[in-house]
Amino acid sequence: MILFTRPLEPNQRERILSVAPQAGLVEEKDLLADDTLIQRIEICYPRLPDELWDKATSLRWLQSNWTGVEALLAVPAVLRHPAVITNVHVQPQSIAEHLWGMTLSLTRNLNASRRLQENGVWDNKTATSGLSTLADRWLCIAGFGAIGARCATVGRALGMRIIGISRNGRPHPLADEIVGPEKRIQAFSRARVIMMLLPDTRETRGFVGTRELDAMDGAFLLNAGRGSAIDTDALMAALKDGRVRAAGLDVTDPEPLPAGHPLWSMPNVFITPHYSGMHPGYDEEAFEVFFANLQRWVRGQPLQGIVDRTLGY
């Protein structure tokens, strides 16, 4: 049996039955009518309520419709459960566009010019103060996966050189250099733009603290991974004294960012409410990942996007 905790379109239901004709398709509301039904569920998409994991004794595979699954892995019943968890990677293009939109807004003072426009002020001096160009500068990308590779492609088109930081440190054709996390301070010290794309794991929490910020020397810092990767208090201090020229944050710590938090009012900070991965067609693309994996499941082939619970992604 397959449990769907989001509505299925008629054509999606038909496609599922075309590859798994014997499967019983169950919706979340069906569980209310039969409290033993959860014990017979083998597959779930895209989430299983926390309180049902211990009861889902037959569950063998959960397909998430998100990339980050740290909230899921924080549930003790999930950690105890033997089911395979898979995630999706349908955000590289939108996150790259989002990060580069923020980057160009900051380096070209577009956000400052927008504020001038809102006040009806023509002030060339303010608008051009501290402009920055990117060609021949270094772009550092911390977390050089599919999203990082897409960001690197845009950076190359702008004439930048690319240094990536990845856990394995293996070379990548889109990067001039790839280094391991232990060399992040040296990588940060060379970069004009730094893009953070790290998940929330034990190894990445506090990845950027005072020592790392000291090395940035006026760089532009962008974060679309998880807010926990950057020490917020240390970042605010670095923004005030110029060690970080400006920051573009799609994620924060804490998140949501509380009303009245100092980051809101800092003129060199651009904040968006954690939506860089969203785009038209997201749900359809995530379903296609599930459907492709379902076909592999039926054929007895390995699933794609399996989450390593030890690593947290």
| Cα(14)–Cα(30) distance, integer angstroms | 19
Distance CA 43, CA 61 (A): 5
pLDDT value for 28: 94
Q: How many domains does the chain have?
A: 2
At 156, list the tokens. 């190359």
Bridge partners of 215? none
Do residue 36 and residue 112 come from a single domain?
Answer: no
Q: Which two tokens stand for residue 150?
A: 């897409």
| Residue 140 within any structural domain of the chain | yes
Residues 57 and 138 occupy one common structural domain = no
CA dist list (Å): 46 to 39, 95, 287: 17, 21, 9
Looking at the structure, tell me whether residues 154 and 266 fall in a common domain. yes
Tell me: the pLDDT tens digits for 59-83?
Answer: 999 999 999 999 999 999 999 999 9
Predicted local confidence at residue 86, as pLDDT:
98
- 85 and 119 inside one domain: no
Within the chain, residue ranges assigned H as helices are 10-19, 28-33, 70-73, 76-80, 92-107, 110-118, 124-128, 146-157, 184-190, 210-214, 232-241, 282-299
In a domain, 313, yes or no: no
Write the pLDDT tens digit of every residue in 106-149.
Answer: 999 999 999 999 999 999 999 999 999 999 999 999 999 999 99
pLDDT at 237: 98
Please check whether residues 97 and 174 belong to one and the same domain: yes
The catalytic residue among 108, 190, 274, 279 is: 274
Residue 308 belongs to a domain: no
Q: Which is nearest to 166 in space by CA: 183, 178, 177?
A: 178
**What percent of the chain is modeled with pLDDT above 90?**
99
pLDDT of residue 284: 97
Catalytic residue among 137, 161, 226, 245: 226
139 and 42 within one domain: no
Question: Is 311 inside a domain boundary?
Answer: no
pLDDT digits (tens, 9 = 90+) for 235-247: 999 999 999 999 9
Asked if the structure places residue 304 within a domain, the reply is: no
**Confidence at residue 168, expressed as pLDDT on a 0 to 100 scale:** 92
Note if 172 is an active site residue: no
Residues 27 and 105 in one domain: no
Per-residue confidence (pLDDT) for residue 63, from 0 to 100: 98
Of the pLDDT bands very low, low, confident and very high (cuts 50, 70, 90), residue 186 is: very high
If asked whether residues 119 and 207 sit together in one domain, one would say yes
Q: What is the CATH number of the domain that holds 98?
A: 3.40.50.720
In this structure, are 56 and 96 located in the same domain? Answer: no
Identify whether residues 108 and 248 lie together within a single domain: yes
pLDDT digits (tens, 9 = 90+) for 260-296: 999 999 999 999 999 999 999 999 999 999 999 999 9
Is the Cβ–Cβ distance between 62 and 40 less than 8 Å?
no
Residues 96 and 14 in one domain: no
**pLDDT score at 39:** 98
Q: Work out whether strand 219-223 and strand 193-196 pair parallel, antiparallel, or are unpaired.
A: parallel
Tell me how far the alpha carbon of residue 286 is from its chain's centroid. Answer: 15
Average pLDDT score, the chain: 97
Q: Over pLDDT 70: what percentage of the chain?
A: 100
Query: Is 306 within the bounds of a domain?
Result: no
Give first-to-last CA distance, the chain, whole Å: 26
**Residue 226: active-site member:** yes
Contacts of 51 (CB under 8 A, 6+ apart): none
Q: Cα–Cα distance between 108 and 111 in angstroms, integer?
A: 8
215 and 73 in a common domain = no
The mean pLDDT of 188-192, rounded to a whole number, is: 98
CA distances from 38 to 17, 24, 72 (A): 20, 12, 18
Distance CA 63, CA 47 (A): 7
Say how far apart CA 204 and CA 104 lie, in whole Å.
Answer: 26
Torsion sign (Cα): 198, 204, 209, 213:
negative
Q: Residue 40 belongs to what domain range?
A: 2-90+281-299
Read off the pLDDT of residues 23-52 as tens digits, 9 standing for 90 and up.
999 999 999 999 999 999 999 999 999 999
